Amino acid sequence: MDMEALVRFYEELTPASLDRFPEFYAEHAGFKDPFNEVRGVAAIRAIFEHMFRQVAEPRFVVLERLVGDHGAVLIWEFHFRAGLRAKGRARLIRGASHLRFGPDGRIACHRDYWDAAEELYMKLPVLGAVMRGLRRAFSADRFPPGPEGRA
């Protein structure tokens, strides 16, 4: 897999460039993120088409890449504006993608890891208040520090 070309594909993704998915993904590739689990290039493409319909100005920035013989991990930021208007509030989600390559070098499995609770739910008006309350309730800050202290 040409990692430079793949990173450029993600960072320059547009509705028109979605036609290029078969260049990078095997026909029966799997994709999983906190909201979706699909198989096949058409289904993966549909997730990204949905992204372009749901948010304004979506943009990925790959910050780091860890590449091995049969896969890679990309650390990224996803920038977007909430809603479809360019005037929507700017948002940021931080995450990582674990990619496994098939025998032909294309992506056979793509798994995105990001914290939907922290990155999305906690920023919603009503649900966010509940999530922040749960976070406070389960935070280790409620307990006195041990002999080593807190970092």
pTM over 0.85: no
Which residues does 63 contact at the CB level (< 8 Å), separation at least 6?
75, 76, 77
Cα(36)–Cα(9) distance, integer angstroms: 21
Place of tokens 């890891």: 113
**Same structural domain for residues 12 and 80?**
yes
What confidence tier does 120 reach under pLDDT thresholds 50, 70, 90? low
Neighbours of 105 (CB within 10 A): 12
Closest CA to 106 of 21, 15, 42, 19: 21
Model confidence over 94-109: pLDDT tens digits?
A: 999 999 999 999 999 9
Closest CA to 119 of 75, 72, 77, 70: 77
Task: Give me the pLDDT at residue 91, please.
Answer: 85
Contact 99, 71 (CB under 8 A): yes
**Same structural domain for residues 7 and 79?**
yes
**Same structural domain for residues 36 and 69?**
yes
**Same structural domain for residues 120 and 86?**
no
**Same structural domain for residues 129 and 145?**
yes
**Same structural domain for residues 86 and 99?**
yes
- 55 or 7: whose pLDDT is higher? 7
User: What's the DSSP call for residue 7?
Assistant: H
Task: Give me the pLDDT at residue 68, please.
Answer: 95
**Same structural domain for residues 48 and 81?**
yes
Its domain, for residue 83, covers: 3-114
124: pLDDT strictly greater than 60: no
**Same structural domain for residues 96 and 140?**
no
Task: Give me the pLDDT at residue 98, please.
Answer: 98
Model confidence over 41-80: pLDDT tens digits?
A: 999 999 999 999 988 999 999 999 999 999 999 999 999 8
**Same structural domain for residues 30 and 89?**
yes
Task: Give me the pLDDT at residue 35, please.
Answer: 87
**Same structural domain for residues 90 and 49?**
yes
CATH of the domain at 96: 3.10.450.50
Number of domains making up the chain: 2
121: pLDDT strictly greater than 90: no
**Same structural domain for residues 72 and 22?**
yes
Task: Give me the pLDDT at residue 27, please.
Answer: 97
**Same structural domain for residues 41 and 26?**
yes
- 10 or 151: whose pLDDT is higher? 10
Task: Give me the pLDDT at residue 115, please.
Answer: 80
